[in-house]
Amino acid sequence: MSTTELDVAWNLEDLVDGEGAAGVDRQLDEATSRASAFAQRYAGKVAQLDGPGLAEAMAELAAITDLVGRAGSYASLQFSADTQKPEHGALMQKVQERGTVIETTLVFFDLEWAAIDDARAEELLQADGLEQCRHHLRTARAYRPYLLSEPEEKLLAEKAVSGRDAWSRLFSELTSALQVHLPDQDEPVALDVALSRLQAGDREVRRTAAEAVTAALEPGLRTRAYLFNTLLHDKAVDDRLRGFPSWISSRNLSNEASDESVQALVDAVKGAYDIPRRWYTLKAKLLGIDRIADYDRAASVTGDEEQIPWEDAKDLVLESFNDFSPVLGDTARRFFDERWIDAPVRPGKRGGAFCAYTTPTVHPYVLLNYTSLRRDVLTLAHELGHGLHAALAIPRGPFEQHTPLTVCETASVFGETLVFKRLLGQADTPESRLSLLAGNLEDGIATVFRQVAMNQFEHAVHTARREEGELSVERFGDLWHQTQHDLLGDAVELTDGYRSWWSYIPHFIGSPGYVYAYAYGQLLALSVYRRYEEEGASFVPAYVDMLAAGGSRSPEELGKIAGLDLTDPGFWTAGLALVRQRLEEAEEAAEAVLATRG
């Protein structure tokens, strides 16, 4: 009997040793006890540590971090799988509250470490036993100018549970509960299902789906706008207290990227806005209309809307990864064999897709909402790329498994590109080839150009909130419309209903400033893939080494492993040239298809 996506549900018990919610309590109890003992031993004494003493302290911090991480991952993944179960929300709230107590108990350590003289800190960092946290300790000191006193840091951490974190949870619950009433369906559907209709070949289906989404967003729009206003102000206060010069500075610091380098990326992408405009102008011709509307952007440009069953998607992805590297193929297979994936669309399940790293003592998990479209296969490859990055970096430990956001998309985009190339090789008609090329180009437009446009929306709303005060629903809509029009120009008609579509995007709420990292990662990954095309099999070990390095080096140092110079001002332009090349390939394929249509 074949497996469908409905059979693919993750097993989260690995996180809690099979003890369920009771395991969460046990882990938090142990972490609380060990944190208290740690504070008694080290508070006020960090500056007196020698090298071996620092290594011993970091080992204990790693163990505490693992306990809290496992408990938190279990609770958050349970909640993501079904946000409507009260017990899932209650468990996540418990973990947040108890985790905050542990965090405040330990906050002294980072503050005392940051206060140590630079020369003395560098001397300590040469000690044995710090191999899994040396880079982490160095980067932690970069926050030195923006740290507050210990009582202030504790207060902010405590208040975040009933403040920022609570608002973020409410947003997840509100958007996960959205039900869209499609005109041809007897029962309402989840938002992700409705949005997938925007890929339909029939324009009337797309238009009515978009109108239905707008209608579903309308009832809670003022609530989500108030929620966003509150978080915008919360961040403004935090930035002011810490002394960050701009709304994006704290995100750039965590990404190990300067404000100037990020602005260079944004400027380079904005300077290439002609790429999406050129494509959407051609797309209107392919669709047989004068100008596409916002709801047409994801439409299939051919009648080729292949459905790919779950088992076929699994085989395709595993073969693609294994042919590149058996290390990647064998690691990816474990996600399927050991139930690290949750695939089906379900009521109350969080929309979209993600990979959760969890902790290095367990393994990553992947959440999907698989609807059997060919695009979903590429999403599977994308999230498994994240999963491979997480799994290969497990030896780096809890402090250095994660990369900065600017690098974390590298493996996902690379994995997606491997699968795309295989799908393209299997395309046996001009229509099928155009369909794939168009989809890949549009994914690039979404990841590079749309994300930068959303970064510009964030810049606009954070700036306006700080200068004008609370923003109305209409003001949010105006800023969304303006920044989208800057991207699309006259190539795309922006409908009035589209003005509210900012209101379901989670990154604005939970991860301010996050979105530009997608563009950074996409262009970096394309450059990595180009290097693979140039060097062939000899490149594979360097790529695997780059993933295995996790976050133990800066983005620039990680790029050097793959032979890339991220400090070169022309780097972003070179990456954008690869996107432009894909546009030209799609234009050539479009000409062939239009010729066959007469």
pLDDT 10s digits, 385-430: 999 999 999 999 999 999 988 888 889 999 999 999 999 888 888 8
Contact by Cβ (8 Å): 494, 488:
yes
> Are the C-beta atoms of residues 340 and 474 closer than 8 Å to each other?
no
User: Using CA atoms, how far apart are residues 182 and 246, in angstroms rounded to an integer?
Assistant: 42
365-367 and 189-190 strand pairing: unpaired
The predicted structure's pLDDT at residue 426: 87
Name the pTM for this structure.
Answer: 0.81
Would you say 77 and 355 are in contact if contact means Cβ atoms under 8 Å apart? no
What pairs with residue 189 in β-bridges? 180
The pLDDT tens digits of the residues spanning 444-478 come to: 999 999 999 999 999 999 999 999 999 999 999 99
The closest alpha carbon to 452, from 188, 270, 200, belongs to 270
Q: Is the pLDDT of residue 96 over 70?
A: yes
- How confident is the model at residue 252, as a pLDDT? 92
User: Alpha carbon of 442 to those of 135, 304, 374, 579, 593: distances in Å?
Assistant: 37, 16, 14, 10, 18
Question: What are the residue boundaries of the structural domains of the chain, listed by start?
Answer: 5-162
Q: State the amino acid at position 310 in one-letter form.
A: W
> Closest Cα partner for 83 from 323, 347, 433?
347
Give CA–CA dist 207/560, Å, rounded.
Answer: 47
Lowest model confidence (mean pLDDT) among 2-16, 111-125, 408-422: 2-16
Look at residue 1 in the predicted model and tell me its pLDDT. Answer: 45
Please state, in angstroms and rounded to a whole number, the distance separating the CA atoms of residues 550 and 390: 8
pLDDT digits (tens, 9 = 90+) for 275-318: 999 999 999 999 999 999 999 999 888 776 678 999 999 999 99
What mean pLDDT comes out for the span 230-246? 96
Give the residue-averaged pLDDT of 205-230: 96
Percent of the chain with pLDDT over 90: 71
CATH match for 5-162 among 1.20.140.70, 3.10.150.10, 3.90.1170.40, 3.40.50.620 = 1.20.140.70
Instruction: Please determine, for residue 220, whether its predicted confidence score (pLDDT) is greater than 80.
Output: yes
Given strand 354-356, what is the order of strands in its sheet? Answer: 341-342, 365-367, 354-356
Phi, psi of 367 (to 5 degrees): -110, 135
The reported pLDDT for the residue numbered 2 is: 59
Report, as an integer, the average pLDDT of 195-210: 92
Q: How many other C-beta atoms can be found within 10 angstroms of the C-beta atom of residue 368? A: 25
Helix, strand and coil percent figures for the chain, each rounded to 5: 70, 5, 25
> Residue 71: CA atoms inside 13 Å, Cβ hemisphere, count?
29
383: Cα separation from own chain's centroid = 10
Between these two residues, 467 and 574, which has the higher pLDDT value? 467
pLDDT score at 445:
94
Mean pLDDT to the nearest integer, 508-529: 89
pLDDT above 80 (res 543): yes
Q: Per-residue DSSP letters for 488-525?
A: HGGGEE--GGGGGGGGG-THHHHSTT-THHHHHHHHHH
Rounded Cα distance, 22 and 7, in Å? 26
Q: What is the distance, to the nearest Å, from the Cα of residue 459 to the centroid of all Cα atoms in its chain?
A: 19
Burial bucket for residue 574 (CB in 10 Å: 0-12, 13-18, 19+):
middle
Please tell me the predicted confidence (pLDDT) of residue 562. Answer: 86
Three-state secondary structure call for residue 558: helix
- How far is 356 from 14, CA to CA, in rounded Å? 14
Angstrom distance (rounded) from CA 526 to CA 531: 9
pLDDT band at 572 (very low <50, low <70, confident <90, very high): confident
Average the pLDDT over 156-180 and give the result.
89
d(CA 296, CA 247): 33
Least confident of 94-98, 214-218, 520-524: 520-524
- How far is residue 16's CA from residue 369's CA, in Å, rounded to a whole number? 25
Structure token pair of residue 58: 């970091």
3-state secondary structure at position 180: strand
DSSP for residue 307:
B
For the range 256-259, what are the long-range contacts, defined as Cβ-Cβ under 8 Å and sequence gap of 24 or more? 256/139, 256/142, 256/404, 256/406, 256/554, 256/555, 257/404, 257/406, 257/520, 257/555
Q: Average pLDDT of 39-43?
A: 97
Q: How far apart are the first and last CA of the chain?
A: 45
Q: Which residues contact 342 (CB under 8 A, 6 or more apart)?
A: 8, 9, 10, 81, 349, 365, 366, 367, 368
Q: How confident is the model at residue 587 (pLDDT cuts 50, 70, 90)?
A: very high
Supply the pLDDT for residue 484. Answer: 97
* Higher pLDDT pick, 433 / 33: 33
Q: Rounded mean pLDDT of the chain?
A: 92
Q: Is the pLDDT of residue 574 over 50?
A: yes
What are the pLDDT digits (tens) for 472-493? 999 999 999 999 999 999 999 9
- Mean pLDDT of the region 569-573: 78
Q: Does pLDDT of 597 surpass 90?
A: no
